[in-house]
Amino acid sequence: MIIKSVKLTNFRSHDFFELNCWKETAMISGENGSGKTSILEAIFEVLRGKSFRAVDKDIVQRGKDFYRVELVYVSGEKIVVTYDFSTGKKMFLVGDKKTARLPKKNRYPVVLFEPDDLNLVGASPSRKREYFDRSFSQLSETYSDSLSKYNKALRQRNELLKRENVSREDLFSWNVLLARFGVFLWKSRGELVEKINDKLTGVYRSIAENKDEIKILLKKDGEFDESMYLKELEKVFKKDKMIGHTSFGAHRDNYEFLFNGVEADGSASRGEVRSIVIALKFIEADEIFQKTRKIPVVLLDDVFSELDEMRQKALVKNFKKNQVIITSVGAVEDVG
Ligand SMILES: Nc1ncnc2c1ncn2[C@@H]1O[C@H](COP(=O)(O)OP(=O)(O)O)[C@@H](O)[C@H]1O
Ligand SMILES: [Mg+2]
């Protein structure tokens, strides 16, 4: 589906803003702080049902009591989202149907490329986990559900661990859930990383025209089935009680990028590292298409102008079937 127009009302710094995408590529330029990322955020809201960077109450323009985004596809289909600050209620209007959440069938896939993604290879484990979790969640509903169930159980277990008189028995039901979803996450992450690895070197070489070998390594606390995982959680009880949080499991996973067999962070050049991230985005877009048969909308936030000509060309070529919405810093046109 192609977006034709987006209208924002009381959305962050925008009282009202309208973006018309006459062509499949739209360019938004403006100074820092002029509200460019907010426009991508509004588009993302309507396509995915929630923001990629904030909760709704922070999005409503300060001093206003609601925000509204209206998106119209070229097909004529229209989706409106409104959020009421005082009641905290959000409403989606799809055609003439009202719903509190964006129905799954009306969600449209997005590949979001943020400036910070360019630093992914050298990023902290938590940042890398977040990155892949978001990407995998969009690829698989089950992954997304399991991840939120895992995180919920983890929060509960950590909460209990902070109590003075917590016993092993108190944790048992949470341990069971952590083991079930933790093992599932390990398995899914392993499979998805394999899928990426199957393509990564080839796609990377098509961007950079060189012979490097790229691989992602999933690093986790061990190889465990559900019952071993459960036993391990029981084993670390004393330690966890002392430190006040859970010291074992899938929430500690890390991803390492290998550049010709050695850690890329430190051995690959800045350009090479960027090509790796770009390759990841291409693979993500392709995986989404294979899975959903929908061509994802690509949102490039301040990254295009950051890249050299070779990498810009690669982006244009690879995303030529996608609708691409680009922001860039510059005074060409004020969007605010
Ligand atoms: N809820 C809000 N109400 C009003 N202004 C906001 C709100 N949230 C953010 N802003 C303002 O929006 C601007 C940032 O918008 P952003 O889309 O990130 O800009 P850009 O991407 O062009 O740098 C900042 O000036 C910030 O103070
Ligand atoms: Mg921005």
113-164 confidence digits (pLDDT tens): 999 999 999 999 999 999 999 999 999 999 999 999 999 999 999 999 999 9
User: Average pLDDT in the 267-272 region?
Assistant: 94
Q: How confident is the model at residue 335 (pLDDT cuts 50, 70, 90)?
A: very low
Cα of 289 vs centre of ligand 2, distance in Å, is 27
Cα of 285 vs centre of ligand 2, distance in Å, is 22
Residue ranges near ligand 2 (ion) with Cβ within 5 Å: 36-37
DSSP string, 167-199: -HHHHHHHHHHHHHHHHHHHHHHHHHHHHHHHH
Asked if the model's pLDDT at residue 213 lies above 90, the reply is: yes
CA separation (Å) from 16 to 33, 158, 275? 16, 43, 37
What's the pLDDT score for residue 331?
60
What's the pLDDT score for residue 336?
36
Helix (H) or strand (E) holding 33: none
Distance (Å, whole) CA 335 – CA 63: 21
3-class DSSP assignment, residue 333: coil
As a whole number, the mean pLDDT across the chain is 95
Cα of 115 vs centre of ligand 2, distance in Å, is 8
Look up the pTM and report it.
0.94
Distance (Å, whole) CA 40 – CA 177: 36
Least Cα distance to 41 among 22, 62, 19 occurs for 19
Task: Please give the domain boundaries of the chain with CATH numbers for all domains.
Answer: 3-108+295-329 (3.40.50.300), 116-282 (1.20.1050.90)
Ramachandran assignment for 261, one of left (phi > 0), alpha (psi -120 to 50 degrees), beta (any other): left
Q: What is the helix, strand, coil percentage profile of the chain, to 5?
A: 50, 25, 30
Residue 295: both structure tokens together = 């061509």
What's the pLDDT score for residue 24?
86
* Pure H helices in the chain: 36-48, 56-59, 125-139, 141-161, 168-208, 226-235, 237-243, 264-267, 270-292, 309-318
Asked if the model's pLDDT at residue 22 lies above 90, the reply is: no
Distance (Å, whole) CA 84 – CA 68: 9
> Which ligand is closest in space to the CA of residue 54?
1
Residue 20 φ then ψ, to 5°: -110, 125
User: Average pLDDT in the 80-107 region?
Assistant: 96
Residue 305: both structure tokens together = 């102008």
Least Cα distance to 311 among 200, 211, 198, 204 occurs for 204
Atom of ligand 1 nearest to the CA of 59: 1
Atom of ligand 1 nearest to the CA of 301: 21
